[in-house]
Chain A
Amino acid sequence: MKPAIASRLAVLLLAALALIFGTGCLDTPDPAVSHYILKCEGGTLQLYLVSVSKVPGATAQPVNNPINGQDCSVSTELQGRPLTLSEAVEHNLVQGGFNQPSTRRAASNSPFSLIDTFVNLVPLPLGPPVTITSPGCNATTKAYLVNHTNGTVTAVGTCPLSILKVIPVGSNPLQVAITPDGSTALVTRYDNDVVWIDTNTDQVTFTLPTGGVYPSGIAISPDGTRAYVTNYFNTNPSLLVIDVVNRAILTTVPLGGAYPRSATITPDGSQVWVNYYNGTGVDIVDTLTLTVAAGIRFNAIVSTGMAFNPTGTKAFIATSPNLLAVVDTKTLNTLATITVGSEPMDVAVTADGALLFVTSYNSNIISLVDAIGNRLVQNLPTDAGAMGLTLIPAGLH
């Protein structure tokens, strides 16, 4: 029996619909095959999400990530092309070992053969990378700058400004602090060392291995006997207490959050305030009992600059995206919030405690704040996002 006309027509109609409207099975790219790429553009890093698409020229969408804006100008070979995670780690642009293991299949010569899930990257906690030997402007006053990607510390004469010496300290140096007497600079190296530099000779005099601790932020007590170093890691985050004179680790203080970043010591040396990468809180370590005695929680990320006024009654804490919180160190209450530039980085208070400066990474300004009246005085323009700030009170810088 011949097939019915109606059924043939139904099949023909279906075929015609397929012919006219059939463009493909899927209208949109499958998000599961999207991936992240990290690009070095104009000397800074930017993270993108790329949707693998059947359409040529698929656009990569910028993704907000703390790694964006980080300096990558040290290597011309990185410029203008996607980096693999291995490359980023190799060039000390990001911290290795934190990222989730890749579930992607490897392919020997594919640009996507390595881990490309950059979304959880934690940038190394650069800055503040500069400090000075003494509060004055004279021939003996020197500033020390950490050159993270070069593995060096530069000794700079401040009056006049001149590079005195470049001191190799080893890979991944992060922060530098100088003892109150100005004789020694201590440099944290993320690669498990703290380095002593004699500021008279500008030579490395001692390297203290820290084992499984990843040194990041550093603060030295007012009497110069102890250094407090944060362990910038997600397992066993802690504060390392170091005997500066005897060059030995005294003890470690366990901390509550992952990736403790910077340590700032109160003027009387009784407390060390610690902030965390992408954290919203500051933990206060009592230096007598060596325990976390208190904490402050904010409704914003507080992982960059902190400073105290000379009497230690106020703490000035930079909070993302653009505020400076003024905290009463006795009650731990926030006294005021002052709008400063976008992504405030470093906070420095003048010796008399009257003014403070806040660098802004995204706004190309340095905010000048009345530290007594808790108000913004002026925004000083800069050429680019600023990071790394120190004050020389008696001079012009």
Chain B
Amino acid sequence: MIPYFPPPVFHIGALEVHAFGVAACLAILAGHSLALRRARTLGLDERSMSWIYAGGAVAAAVAGHLWAIAGTAAHTGPFEIWSGQSAAGFTAGALLTILFILWRFGPLRWRYLDALAFAFPFAWTLVRTGCFLAHDHIGAPTASTLGVRFPDGTRFDLGLLEALMALMASLGVVLFLPRLKLPGQMSGFLLLLAGTARLFIAAVSESSSAFTTGFGGVVLTLLGVAILASRQRTTDAGSGRRRRGAGDAVGRRIRFEYR
């Protein structure tokens, strides 16, 4: 079992910085950097990618905060995003961003989403490591070696479990990158991983939001499967057309960029 440790706090002059803050800061910066890097590889507009990332991060953070204060009746302003976050709300904000991308970026929409999907698990790992360091999500009692000896008994730390799963998702994204060549496949794959992870978290959670977590997990998983299936079908149809010599320019460009 993991011994309990108090949430680390650092002092930079007069500034008090919490481990969670450091992890969240690194997650935002790392996610941005990786998304831009991936966009560059895919030949996408880095300026658009940067705006998508910034807008998506703000939308997810605000939605996550609104969801959190709606659930706890906390007396904080709607934009005080640092004073309470909900993963369910964050997911809702992210889904809104996905819808915006799908609506706004035409034939290139899946590639922008894939760039975000590539960056997400790394940022996810860092953020959840921050949650673990803050012991924010206390799970069910356990005798597992992954349990944390909290002051009131040994329980799962859901932040740690999700950080480990996000780390595995990051490795999965890297390992499967050569195989996920079709537009949208990376997005579908990431949603599948994220949904599965959330389902697992719901299973070991005692929180009042366990149902929401599980429901969100199901939605993400189904969405991932649906995207993977639809992308496969689209490509099969495109291949058929190409066999008939009727390939479209966008299709060719995508195939080129994914080589």
A contacts, CB < 8 Å to B: 1-4, 7-8, 10-12, 14-33, 35, 50, 52-58, 104-105, 107-113
Contact = CB atoms under 8 A, between A and B. Distances in A.
Contacts of B87: 25
Contact of B141 (A7, A21, A22, A110): A110
Interface stretch (B42-50, B170-178, B194-202): B42-50
A33 B32 CA distance: 35
A31 B209 CA distance: 11
Contacts of B7: 23-24, 54
Contacts of B50: 3-4, 7-8, 11
B140 interface: yes
Interface string B74-92: 1000000111111100000
A109 B154 CA distance: 9
21 contacts: A2-B46, A4-B51, A11-B28, A11-B57, A18-B27, A22-B23, A22-B24, A23-B82, A24-B18, A24-B131, A25-B86, A25-B134, A26-B85, A27-B83, A33-B207, A54-B7, A54-B135, A54-B136, A54-B138, A56-B4, A107-B141
A25 B137 contact: yes
Given A11-B28, A53-B151, A32 B74 contact: no
Rank and list the top 9 A-B pairs by shortest CB-CB distance, nearest first.
A22-B21, A21-B82, A3-B50, A54-B135, A24-B134, A18-B24, A19-B25, A7-B50, A32-B208
B110 to A, nearest CB: 20
B25 A18 contact: yes
Contacts of A105: 140-142
A32 B205 CA distance: 10
Contacts of A1: 45-47
Contact of A23 (B21, B46, B86, B137): B21
B6 A56 contact: yes
Contact of B134 (A18, A19, A54): A54
Contacts of B45: 1
Contacts, number: 170
A251 to B, nearest CB: 48
Given A3-B47, A17-B82, A22 B152 contact: no
B206 A33 contact: yes
Interface string B123-158: 000000011001111111111000000111111000
A20 B17 contact: yes
B47 A4 contact: yes
B53 interface: yes
A293 B68 CA distance: 56
Given A26-B136, A111-B153, 7 more contacts: A1-B45, A8-B50, A25-B136, A29-B138, A30-B206, A32-B206, A52-B153
Interface of B: 4, 6-7, 15, 17-18, 20-29, 32, 36, 45-47, 49-51, 53-54, 57-58, 61, 68, 72, 74, 81-87, 130-131, 134-143, 150-155, 206-210
A137 to B, nearest CB: 55
Nearest to B17: A19
Given A1-B47, A33-B207, A107-B154, A22 B25 contact: yes
A58 B29 contact: no
Contacts of A108: 143
A186 B150 CA distance: 51
Nearest to A8: B50
Nearest to B155: A52
Nearest to B4: A56
A104 B154 CA distance: 14
A19 B22 contact: yes
Contact of A109 (B36, B51, B131, B143): B143
Contacts of B74: 27-28
A2 B47 contact: yes
Contacts of A53: 138, 150-152
Given A14-B58, A18-B21, A52-B152, A3 B36 contact: yes
A11 B137 CA distance: 26
**Interface-centre pick from A16, A53, A57, A105 (highest chain B CB count, 10 A):** A105
Contacts of A26: 68, 84-85, 136-137
A14 B57 contact: yes
Contact of A11 (B18, B32, B142, B150): B32
A57 B82 contact: no
Contacts of A33: 138-139, 155, 206-207
Contacts of A29: 138
A3 B37 CA distance: 11
Nearest to B130: A22
Nearest to A106: B141
Nearest to B144: A107
Nearest to A22: B21
